[in-house]
Chains A and B, each alone.
Chain A
C-alpha cells in the first residue's frame, strides 16, 4: 500500500515546530545511512504512540510483536521517506499498513470474525450491570474487528472516512455505519 499523508489535525507550524520536524528529518536521514543512535531517538520519540495504536487495533496479545515489526519495517523503508510530511505522520501511516497486513492472520488465529451484531449487543448491555462495567479502553478492545478499527482510526487517530475506506477496502458508507455502531456500543461504558 502506498504511503500517503493521513488527515491528522495540525496547527500552523511555528518556528519551534519546524525545528522539531527538521530534527526528526535529520535523524531519519542519519538513520537511513545506518546511524543506529539516530534511529533509536526516533524509536524513543514514537514508540508510545505506535504501540498504543497497535494495541487498540489488534489487542494487547500481539501488540509488542507488531510494534516491533513496525520499527523494523520503518528501518528498511527509511530510504523512501522524503521529508514531505512529518516523520511521525509517515511512521504512523506505515504502522497502519503493517497492522492491516497482519489483521487477517490475527483474525483467523483468534476466531475474531464472529457475528458483529451479537457482540455489539452484548457490549452495549454489559455495562448496564455496574459490577460488569469495564474500562473504556477495554470496551474498545471488545468491539468487533471492523467497528474497532474504524473507531480507532476515525475517533482516536483522526483519519477521514474516505481514507479509512481506502485503507480497509470498504466504502465510506460502511465506515460511517461501523463508526456509529461502535459509538452506540461504547456509550454504555462512559464514566458516570
Chain B
C-alpha cells in the first residue's frame, strides 16, 4: 500500500489538511481498506505516545546537582544565600506571590470544611498525610467509578477533547507521583501534603468533568 494519500494520513489525523484535501482524502478512505488500516495504526501510535509514563532517573541526581550549584545537601536546612540583589518592584512582586500562595492555601484548607468541598476529599485536615490518600478506599473507588464511566462514554467525545483530557490526567498523575516521592523523604512536610491533596482533588474533578461531558453526549 503506497498511494498518493499515504503520505498525508498523519496530517489528516492531526486535522491539518485543507478542507478540500480532507474531503478528497475521506472519499479515498471510503474505498481504500489499506489506507483505513494504516490510519488506524497511526492513530494507535499517537495514543501510545500520549500514554507514555514519565520515569524518574534510576539514581537520585540531586546530590550531584546540589554540588554543582554550590549547595551542600547536608546543609540545606540553612539556605545558602547567593550574592543577589533585588529591586523594589521585584521585592513587591515576590510579596504578592507569597500573599497569593498563602491566600490560596488558606482557601483550600477552609473549603475542606464547607459544602463546596468534593465529597471524596478526606474529611479532616488531620488526615492530610501522604499515606491517607492513596490508601483511602473511598477516593480509589470514586476514581475507579469515574474512569469506568469515562471509558464507556469515550467514543462520544471528539479526539481533540480526549487528547486534552488524557494529557492533563498524565500531568496530574505525574504531580501525584512526584509529591508522593518527595513525601517519602520528608513525610511531615505540610507543603508537600497540601500539594498532594490538591493534585488528587484535581484528578477527581477532571475525571468528574470528563465523565459528565461523555455522558452528556450520549
Residues of A in contact with B (beta carbons under 8 Å apart): 8-11, 14-20, 22-23, 25-26, 29-30, 32-41, 43-49, 51-52, 55, 63-64, 67-68, 71-72, 75-76, 79, 83, 136-137, 140, 151, 155-156, 158, 161, 176-177, 179-180, 183-184, 186-187, 190
Contact = CB atoms under 8 A, between A and B. Distances in A.
Contacts of B198: 16, 19-20
B57 A67 contact: yes
B61 A71 contact: yes
Interface residues of B, number: 67
B42 to A, nearest CB: 5
B108 A9 contact: no
Contacts of A177: 7
Contact of A183 (B45, B93, B201): B45
Interface stretch (B8-16, B28-36, B128-136): B8-16
B49 A156 contact: yes
Contacts of A32: 84
A22 B102 CA distance: 9
A48 B174 contact: yes
A14 B205 CA distance: 10
A183 B61 contact: no
B217 interface: no
A38 B191 CA distance: 11
Nearest to B104: A19
Interface of B: 7, 9-11, 16, 38, 41-42, 44-46, 48-50, 52, 54-57, 59, 61-62, 64-66, 68-69, 71, 76-77, 79-82, 84, 86, 93-94, 97-98, 100-101, 104-105, 107-108, 163-164, 167-168, 174-175, 177-179, 181-182, 185, 191-192, 195, 198-199, 201-202, 205-206
Contact of A47 (B7, B61, B179, B195): B61
A9 B104 contact: no
A47 B139 CA distance: 27
A40 B66 contact: yes
Given A20-B198, A44-B182, A71-B61, A183 B94 contact: no
Contact of A64 (B57, B68, B69, B167): B57
A49 B174 contact: yes
Contact of B61 (A20, A68, A140, A155): A68
Contacts of A44: 62, 178, 181-182, 185
A43 B202 contact: no
**Residue of B52, B54, B164 with highest tally of chain A CB at under 10 A:** B54
B202 A17 contact: yes
A22 B97 contact: yes
A41 B191 contact: yes
B54 A48 contact: yes
A122 to B, nearest CB: 17
A134 B113 CA distance: 51
A64 B59 contact: yes
Contacts of B59: 64
Contacts of A9: 163-164, 167-168
Nearest to A33: B84
Contacts of B199: 20
